[in-house]
A and B are shown apart, each in its own frame.
Chain A
Amino acid sequence: MFKKINFNIGFVIILVLLLATFFASFISSSDPYQIELSKGLAKPEWGHPFGFDKLGRDILSRTLEGAKISLFIGFSVVIISVIIGTFVGTLAGYLGGLPDEIIMRITDIFLAFPGILLAIGLMSVLKPSVFNIIIALSAFGWVGYARLVRSQILSLKERDFVVAAVAQGATHKRIFKNHLLTNIVSSLIIEASFGVAGNILAEAGLSFLGLGIQAPYASWGSMIAEGRNFLLVAPHLTLYPGLLIAFTVMGLNLMGDGIRDFLDPNQ
């Protein structure tokens, strides 16, 4: 019961956020890139509830613009990581033997990079752009999914229904599509629902460090980094983008918890 409430709260948060980004122009009529120097660092006022940044741009419209970018990156990285991870994990688990050994040792090496360290290293040599952030985060994002899929395939391929399909002469493609993929999809959905939140935090972290989205484009992380210089005179620059990150991550995590309870009650 309590967990269902959690899921509902998470769902409402994410739904409101998605609707707000979709109808951003109705919520705030200001252009997120429109500079108005006379309004620089101005406090919240009627029609501009989040105030203005140092260049006089409306913070509400910039946070909504940042939401679009963050959600796009969060979902794109998860989709790419799931595709690569599923392919690699299936290859390792299904083939077994030497290919499995080699793939697992490679994943061990990727797992030796803590958190977003590899993405930080990659972004230090790549030019900051949305595309490159997606590449950098996917470069290590696939590893967790590959491990998950491999472990599931290892247990599934010994099950009677797969052995029967092999005995019937089913092709590898058919076995994967009809018998393996259908059984690993729920674990992937659970993992992916938490992955989106993790990637949103990672993107914001990279942008905060100056390695992600660059000016003039809006990103929650870079907005907080910019606001840090004006903490004393204009704390609203930091406050609102941060609150939005926290709510988004909380919403996604609560939804993830709910999806896990629904799809895998054993956990």
Chain B
Amino acid sequence: MRNLILKRLLLLLPIIWGVVTIVFVITHIIPGDPIDLILGETARQSDREELRKAMGLDKPMHQQYFTYMKQLIQGDFGESIYRKQKVLNLIIKKAKASFELAFSSIIVAILIAFPLGIASARSPGSWLDIISSFIAVIGGSVPVFWLGPILIICFSIGTGWFPVSGRSGISSIILPALTLGASLSAVLMRMIRSSFLEILPQEFLATAKAKGLSERRIIFIHAFRNACLPIITILSLQLGSLLTGTIITETVFAWPGVGRLIIQSISARDYQLVQGCVIFIATIYIITNLLADILYGLLDPRIRIEENV
């Protein structure tokens, strides 16, 4: 197991280096002067030169790249031009709200997908199965940035049950989590259904039944662990949509997370902050994928053995 973790950790470093390099290339090589974008084309020449020097853009490209890499290794993401604060500090301040939202939406997705997915698999072709499939198709088609406003109309403006926006207590997270969790639950439900459909007719479950185990124990202990692997795969594959969904959901509900920060920093043309946020989100994605890989190993001994060979 230790070998598996070490191997994955070593593979992580070149990928993070690649991510940083692509982000650097996007913001430095693409035609157009960032100074123009920040100050506007009509700014005074002296102001332009001063900002160029302050941002280190007067140096040759390779030098800028090495300086940037060196700073990043030291944990320095630079300083936000607009907010006059360290980029990393700004991101860390906002990250808690984003994690809260992402975690809650996963919980929402699990709460919707597991009961419906398992129930559908237990009675394929039934009305419940057809309705669940229909919900999954709808859930996978409705965009987050539309579902959010619709939920606001129904449950905030219409009934006043939940706040329209912001982050103030547990009631404020319900609608954003539901918005973000809906599409995830659709994919998850399909996966749980097909996974359980494959597991349920297997002999070891018939043996468990013959031994007199309760239906609940058979489903939640014996079938669940075996059906888990593809479900974790789909969850880790969906993390990408979840993280970008976070950016949109945070914008819809004015949720003060990293996603909203990135959009605000784009509007303010605060490129240092944009770079920092993109690298941060990509790194979180890479690390969660690594954790999913490790979890496979823990759940399925065959993977551990294969990796050790």
Given A121-B26, A211-B266, A225-B145, 15 more pairs with CB closer than 8 A: A113-B282, A116-B244, A118-B26, A124-B271, A125-B26, A125-B27, A205-B145, A209-B247, A238-B146, A238-B149, A242-B149, A246-B142, A247-B141, A250-B140, A254-B137
B140 touches A253 (CB 8 A): yes
A113 to B263, CA, bound (A): 17
Q: Is A105 interfacial (CB-CB < 8 Å)?
A: yes
Interface of chain B: mostly helix, strand, loop or mixed: helix
A266 to B262, CA, bound (A): 42
Task: Name B138's contact: one of A120, A121, A239, A250 (CB within 8 Å).
Answer: A250
Which residues of B pack against A, CB within 8 Å?
14-16, 18-19, 21-23, 26-27, 30, 32, 34, 37, 137-138, 140-147, 149-150, 152-153, 157, 239-245, 247-248, 251-252, 262-263, 266-267, 271, 274, 278, 281-282, 285-286
Nearest A residue (CB) for B18: A109
B282 touches A117 (CB 8 A): yes
B18 touches A227 (CB 8 A): no
B146 touches A224 (CB 8 A): yes
Least CB distance from A195 to B in Å reads 14
B157 touches A231 (CB 8 A): yes
Q: Is A204 interfacial (CB-CB < 8 Å)?
A: yes
Least CB distance from A226 to B in Å reads 11
Which residues of A pack against B, CB within 8 Å?
105-106, 108-110, 112-118, 120-122, 124-126, 197, 201, 204-205, 208-211, 221, 224-225, 227-228, 231-232, 235, 238-239, 241-242, 245-247, 249-250, 253-254
Task: Name B37's contact: one of A125, A239, A245 (CB within 8 Å).
Answer: A125
A118 touches B22 (CB 8 A): yes
Nearest A residue (CB) for B14: A105
A118 to B153, CA, bound (A): 31
Taking CB atoms, residues of chain B closer than 8 Å to A227 are 149
A209 to B95, CA, bound (A): 20
A103 to B243, CA, bound (A): 26
B243 touches A249 (CB 8 A): no
